[in-house]
């Protein structure tokens, strides 16, 4: 998932604002105790999400795919003073750990954590979004985009993770998840409602601005 040579990756991280102690704890605990720790956003991507949030000062953030809460804590850093972040994950087994992390980070009053199927939950949320982060099941990306695009404020941003899919996106690979990511990237490129840039950071971030 890391496309930079290790020395350049280390250099980039050493010249990026450090993580908070809470984020370092979440990262360490995730790597020690949770399956598939590579799903964690991590230092560089986390600081980028925080930077976007600080620039936008969003009143409403939606995250589809909470995992252990690292990315939600990062985005919550830039919330408007009256802002709210909704984060959704289908994995009930991680709920207690995630809620502990949010409490440690002091964001429980800003974050609404919902456990269940995002396809069903998102339409029930009566909100207009300033920032949406999609980092859930890859087969669902196109549907998630469709669920949120009409509820994005003008100049709101959608950020989708893993759009390079460990480089498979440009290889002679045709499994279902790779095809889903290719179709999603093409869908975004051909949608006149958004302006987009694909950033080759970590596993690829598709950043979309609602026109």
CATH number, domain containing residue 97? 3.40.50.150
* Domain contains 121: yes
Give the pLDDT score at 39: 87
* Domain contains 159: yes
Strands 194-199 vs 205-210: parallel, antiparallel or unpaired:
antiparallel
* Domain contains 106: yes
* Domain contains 10: yes
Check: CB of residue 169 under 8 Å from CB of residue 206: no
Look at the chain and report how many structural domains it folds into: 1
Q: Report which secondary-structure segment, H or E, holds 205.
A: strand 205-210
* Domain contains 28: yes
Domain residue limits at 121: 6-210
* Domain contains 160: yes
Would you call 89 helix, strand, or coil by DSSP?
Answer: strand
Give the pLDDT score at 45: 96
* Domain contains 149: yes
Would you call 140 helix, strand, or coil by DSSP?
Answer: helix
Give the pLDDT score at 1: 67
- Residue ranges of the alpha helices (H) in the chain? 6-14, 21-33, 42-56, 70-76, 95-105, 118-121, 141-149, 176-189
Q: Digits of tens for pLDDT over the chain (211 positions)?
A: 677 889 999 999 999 999 999 999 999 999 999 988 888 999 999 999 999 999 999 999 999 999 999 999 999 999 999 999 999 999 999 999 999 999 999 999 999 999 999 999 999 999 999 999 999 999 999 999 999 999 999 999 999 999 999 999 999 988 999 999 999 999 999 999 999 999 999 999 999 999 9
| Chain-centroid distance, C-alpha 108 | 18
CB atoms within 10 A of CB 36: 8
* Domain contains 145: yes
């Amino acid at each position: 998932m890391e496309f930079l040579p290790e020395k350049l990756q280390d250099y980039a991280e050493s010249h990026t604002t450090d993580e908070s102690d809470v984020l370092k704890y979440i990262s360490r605990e995730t790597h020690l105790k949770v399956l598939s720790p590579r799903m964690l956003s991590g230092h560089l991507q986390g600081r980028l999400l925080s930077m976007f949030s600080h620039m936008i000062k969003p009143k409403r953030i939606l995250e589809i795919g909470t995992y252990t809460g690292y990315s939600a804590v990062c985005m919550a850093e830039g919330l408007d003073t009256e802002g709210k972040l909704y984060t959704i994950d289908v994995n009930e087994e991680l709920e207690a750990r995630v809620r502990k992390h949010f409490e440690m980070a002091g964001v429980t009053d800003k974050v609404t954590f919902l456990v269940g199927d995002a396809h069903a939950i998102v339409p029930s949320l009566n909100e207009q979004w300033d920032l949406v982060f999609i980092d859930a099941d890859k087969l669902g990306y196109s549907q998630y985009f469709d669920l949120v695009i009409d509820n994005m404020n003008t100049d709101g941003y959608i950020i989708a993770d893993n759009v390079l899919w460990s480089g498979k996106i440009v290889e002679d690979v045709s499994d279902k998840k790779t095809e889903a990511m290719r179709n999603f990237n093409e869908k975004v490129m051909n949608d006149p409602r958004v302006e987009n840039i694909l950033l080759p950071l970590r596993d690829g971030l598709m950043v979309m601005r609602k026109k």
